[in-house]
Amino acid sequence: MKTTLNRNELRVSLSSIASVRALPRKAAIRYEANHKVTLREEDTLRPRGFVFAFKTSWVSPESAEKVFQELLLELDDSLRPNAVCVLDQCLVIRRAHKTETILFKEHALLHFIMFLVQTMDTFPRYQADLKRYFEEDYGDA
């Protein structure tokens, strides 16, 4: 979340999201019929990434979209964020596995909330077994 977004702030935000998305995904578990199922890292989706800002100095929503698209090219596809919302201008959503975007010029907050809800509804719900990040075993404690 940023107060004011410019090219450099967006680049820093995208880099932060890429860092989180690059973390190992070895702690994901899911419960099926009251049994814990450990998920393989390659079967665990990376976390979603969103940039949210209140305002920007860009002159138009199209300017924000263009900068977002340009900066996406600097990142590997698996590390790219899903969207950027600038409250006073627009919501830009990246199409999955592409640098193409969808631009919403009006009602940015409403579209952001709807996209967030849709994303949460369709994203698998994992739980974390954080002990899997350590070599030590806590036993039955």
Residue 132 covered by a domain: no
Cα–chain center distance at 80 = 8
For 28, 38, 80, 102, 121, the CA distances from 44, given in Å and listed in that order, are 7, 10, 16, 26, 16
Model pTM above 0.85: no
Q: So what's the pLDDT on residue 55?
A: 92
Residue 47 covered by a domain: yes
Residue 133 covered by a domain: no
Element (H, E) at 66: helix 61-72
Per-residue pLDDT reduced to its tens digit, 48-80:
899 999 999 899 999 999 999 999 999 999 999
Residue 42 sits in which domain range? 2-126
Domain count, the chain: 1
Residue 74 covered by a domain: yes
Cα–chain center distance at 45 = 11
